[in-house]
Amino acid sequence: MAGVTDPVGVGFVTSLARPGGNITGLTHLSPDLSGKRLELLKEVVPRLLRVAVLWNPNHPGQPAAFKDTQVAAQALKVTLISMEARNREEIEKVLSGIGKERPQALFELPDPLTVFNRQLITEFAAKHKVPAMYSFREYVDAGGLMSYGTSFPDLFRRAATYVDKSSRERSLLSCP
């Protein structure tokens, strides 16, 4: 596996310490990243008090990631505004209603839905002059302000070494 947010939550492995079964790979799950992202955002917006968090509650791992973000926000004395979106239409809807909440910044939790719609999200943030923190460099490449997180090209390259190692081990086991 490569790029799975929560391999335990989706049932790929029984635990990260002892995965069991016949699977190996890498995940970008890290509870500490939300806190670090918020810290960096607060450095850019020193008087940060209100942050809109765009996230997909239907994606495995997202509810836990949102809770981790809430814990980090409390420590930084930042109020989170939950902006749940399950599809592109909901992303458009919550973004268009963001003005009512008056956040000082936007914070995106990693999800295939938001990654796929990154152009929409980054263009919205730029147009409305809302500083935003993203999970992946691809958002910055699309015009976003900043990101802090996993590099998917590196993650997939590293996963390839597991595939190669596994293939070689199977070849050795099948030799007479």
Order of strands across the sheet with 105-108? 79-84, 50-55, 105-108, 132-134, 146-147
Whose tokens are 């090209």? That residue is 153
120 φ, ψ (degrees, to nearest 5) = -60, -45
> What backbone torsions phi and psi does residue 52 show, to the nearest 5 degrees?
-85, 125
Q: Which residues of 111-133 are buried (b: 16+ CB within 10 A; e: fewer)?
A: bebbbebbeebbebbeeeebbbb
From first to last of its 176 residues, the chain has per-residue pLDDT tens of: 666 666 676 677 777 677 777 676 666 555 568 889 999 999 999 999 999 999 999 987 788 889 989 999 999 999 999 999 999 999 999 999 988 889 999 999 988 899 999 999 999 999 999 999 998 889 999 999 999 887 767 777 777 776 666 555 555 555 55
pTM more than 0.75: yes
Give the domains, in start order, of the chain with CATH numbers. 31-151 (3.40.50.2300)
